[in-house]
C-alpha cells in the first residue's frame, strides 16, 4: 500500500428507507492506525452504514474502496476478510466457544489458515477470562460473553479494518477497559484501522481519535 493511501475510502454513500433518506453524501477515509467514532442518535442508521461498508447490505449510492480497489476488484470473500463487522448482538452457533472459533476456518477464504489456541488464550487472559471460557456452550452465553466471542472470532481472522458496532454494550466496566486495551494493542500493528459506535460518550472520547457524526449527512 502506498504511503498516505487510505485503507478504506468512502465516497457519497446514501441509504434510503421507503421515502426517507437516513443519510446521504457520507464520505470519509480511514488511515492506518485510525480509530474513528461513528456517532448519531439512535435510529440514524449507524449499523446499516457498517453493514454497507462490509457489503453485507447492498450499497444504494456511492462507492467504497479498500486500498484503492473496489470490493468487486477484490472479490467479495477477500474484501470481507479485510473489512469485517463485529456486531452488537453476536450470533453463537451450536457447540462450544472453541467450536465457534474453529468453524470460521471452514470458509474457503481461510482454507490455508488454522485455529491458533495459543493466541486465543493470550487474548482471553487479557480479557480476564480463563481457558475454561473455550468450553462454554455457545447457546448459553450471556450477552457479554457472546460479545467476547464475536471479538475473538474477528481478531483471529486478522482483518485490516474492524467495524465495531457497540462492542462493549453488554460488558461490565472492568471488561470494557480490557477490551479497549486489547483494541489499542491491535491498532499498533501496521495497516489496521477501526470504526466504532458506542452509546457511551466517554468511551468514544477515550478510544477514538476523531468522530464522524452521521447526523450531519441527513
pLDDT band at 71 (very low <50, low <70, confident <90, very high): very high
pLDDT band at 3 (very low <50, low <70, confident <90, very high): low
pLDDT at position 18 is 86
pLDDT at position 201 is 94
pLDDT, average across residues 130-141 = 96
Q: 204 phi and psi, to 5 degrees?
A: -60, -45
Q: What is the pLDDT of residues 100-110, one digit of tens each?
A: 999 999 999 99
**Mean pLDDT computed over every residue of the chain:** 94
Residue 2 has pLDDT above 80, yes or no: no
DSSP strand pairing (8-17 vs 61-66): antiparallel
Single out the residue of 100, 97, 85 nearest to residue 166, CA to CA.
Answer: 85
Long-range contacts of 25-32 (CB under 8 A, 24+ apart): 25/217, 26/62, 26/214, 26/217, 27/62, 28/212, 30/6, 30/161, 30/193, 30/194, 30/195, 31/4, 31/6, 31/7, 31/193, 32/1, 32/7, 32/190, 32/191, 32/192, 32/193
Of residues 174 and 20, more confidently modeled = 174
pLDDT at position 19 is 86
Strand order in the sheet with 35-39: 83-86, 161-165, 193-197, 35-39, 210-213
Neighbour tally for 179: CB within 10 Å? 22
Return the percentage of the chain with pLDDT > 90, whole number.
Answer: 88
Q: Is 182 exposed, middle or buried (0-12, 13-18, 19+ CB in 10 A)?
A: middle
Q: What residues contact residue 216 under an 8 Å CB cut-off, 6+ apart? A: none
What the chain holds in terms of domains, given with CATH numbers, is 8-217 (3.40.50.300)
Residue 213 has pLDDT above 80, yes or no: yes
pLDDT band at 1 (very low <50, low <70, confident <90, very high): low
- Provide the 3-class DSSP secondary structure of residue 118: helix
Amino acid at each position: 500500500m502506498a504511503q498516505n493511501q487510505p485503507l478504506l475510502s468512502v465516497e457519497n454513500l446514501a441509504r434510503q428507507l421507503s421515502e426517507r433518506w437516513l443519510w446521504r453524501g457520507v464520505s470519509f477515509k480511514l488511515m492506518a492506525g485510525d480509530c474513528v467514532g461513528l456517532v448519531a442518535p439512535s435510529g440514524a442508521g449507524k449499523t446499516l452504514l457498517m453493514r454497507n461498508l462490509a457489503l453485507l447490505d447492498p450499497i444504494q449510492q456511492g462507492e467504497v474502496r479498500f486500498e484503492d480497489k473496489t470490493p468487486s476488484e477484490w472479490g467479495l470473500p477477500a474484501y470481507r476478510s479485510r473489512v469485517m463487522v463485529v456486531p452488537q448482538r453476536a450470533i453463537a452457533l451450536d457447540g462450544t466457544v472453541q467450536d465457534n472459533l474453529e468453524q470460521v476456518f471452514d470458509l474457503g477464504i481461510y482454507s490455508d489458515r488454522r485455529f491458533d489456541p495459543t493466541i486465543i488464550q493470550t487474548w482471553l487472559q487479557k480479557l480476564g477470562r480463563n481457558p475454561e471460557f473455550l468450553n462454554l456452550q455457545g447457546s448459553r452465553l450471556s450477552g457479554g460473553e457472546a460479545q467476547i466471542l464475536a471479538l475473538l472470532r474477528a481478531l483471529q481472522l486478522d482483518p485490516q479494518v474492524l467495524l465495531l458496532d457497540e462492542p462493549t454494550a453488554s460488558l461490565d466496566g472492568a471488561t470494557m477497559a480490557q477490551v479497549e486495551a486489547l483494541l489499542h494493542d491491535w491498532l499498533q500493528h501496521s495497516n489496521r484501522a477501526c470504526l466504532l459506535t458506542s452509546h457511551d460518550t466517554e468511551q468514544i472520547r477515550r478510544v477514538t481519535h476523531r468522530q464522524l457524526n452521521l447526523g450531519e449527512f441527513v
